[in-house]
Amino acid sequence: MRRERRRFERNDTDIKKVLYTAGGILFISIITFIAMFLLNSNNSQEEQRLAMFNTEMMNSSNANSVEETSSQTGRTVNEMLNEMTNDMATNELTTGEANEDANESSTNETSSNSDKTKYAVNTSNVEGKKVEENADSTKDSETTKKEDEETVKDPEFKMPVEGEIMREYAKDNLVYSATLDEWVTHNGIDIAAEKTTVVKASAEGTVKSIKNDPRYGLTIVIEHVNGFTTVYSNLLTAEFVEEGETVEQGETIGTVGNTATFEIADEAHLHFEILKDNENLDPELYLK
């Protein structure tokens, strides 16, 4: 019995220790929780106070700024309205003027473009006419050149007198001269004919000169087209023409004589020369 009591007492004592220990821990926990709750509440209250203080400060500053702004706004509302009204009117006027200017500019551009188009058309027409005129003038000039080339031909020469050639052209070789009794060159041909035989123009031309040549006697020189010249020497008379006179082919210009000192020993004849640009040619190659 004693042992059981002791055990019971011991168990009871152990339980009490456990309960006391648990109670102490619970008490300490409660106190700790309360302490922390109080601290947190105090901190929150302080934060709320600070927030309220900041809010009051901000409200006061905002109120001041609002009062200033409201006062300024109250002072300038009418001015702002007037400015807005004036700006709107100015914008309307500006817009209207801009539209008018745009319409005028578009009208002017349209008219200028139409004028340019008309001018371009007129210019193209004028240029086309000029091109046609230039083409026509070119054709006319070419036609004129062709006509000139066709009309201006070398003259066709005919025998100035009827007779036989007694001495031929000899520019590159020598012929015997009975008068000089030596072999000499001969720039023309000698055509045998009686004295006073009529001498005719070999081709149409203008009388350049009538002169007494110291070698070939009385001489008539006639100029023709394209640089040709004919020379008639050893004449008896030359009173049928004058210097500067235009003569036709076959027209009488003089008579056959015997006035050439270089050919005085020969029978009566006509000394005849043909030149091209002052260069002697063989007359037999051009006479027809």
Do 215 and 260 meet the contact criterion of CB atoms below 8 Å apart? yes
Q: What distance in Å separates the CA atoms of residue 128 and residue 81, rounded to the nearest whole number?
A: 67
Q: Domain locations in the chain?
A: 1-152, 165-285
Do 163 and 193 meet the contact criterion of CB atoms below 8 Å apart? yes
pTM of the model: 0.50
**Topology of domain 165-285, CATH:** Glucose Permease (Domain IIA) (2.70.70)
Confidence of residue 100 (pLDDT cuts 50, 70, 90): low
Nearest to residue 219, comparing CAs of 166, 146, 287, 273? 273
Backbone angles phi, psi at 213, to 5 degrees: -85, 135
Q: What distance in Å separates the CA atoms of residue 13 and residue 79, rounded to the nearest whole number?
A: 95
pLDDT digits (tens, 9 = 90+) for 193-228: 999 999 999 999 999 999 999 999 999 999 999 999
pLDDT digits (tens, 9 = 90+) for 15-59: 777 787 877 888 888 888 887 877 776 666 666 776 676 666 665
Q: What distance in Å separates the CA atoms of residue 146 and residue 197, rounded to the nearest whole number?
A: 41
Partnered with residue 221 across adjacent β-strands are 209, 231
Here the tokens at position 207 are 């009388």
As a whole number of Å, the end-to-end CA separation of the chain is 196
Cβ burial 152-185 (10 Å sphere, 16+ → b, else e):
eeebebeebbebebebebbeeeeeebeeeeeeee
Helix or strand run (H / E) with residue 220 = strand 217-223
Least confident of 109-118, 156-165, 171-180: 109-118
Torsion of CA 159, 165, 170, 176, to 10 degrees: -150
Helix (H, G, I), strand (E, B) or coil at 214: coil
Least confident of 30-34, 94-98, 220-224, 241-245: 94-98
Here the tokens at position 123 are 């210019």
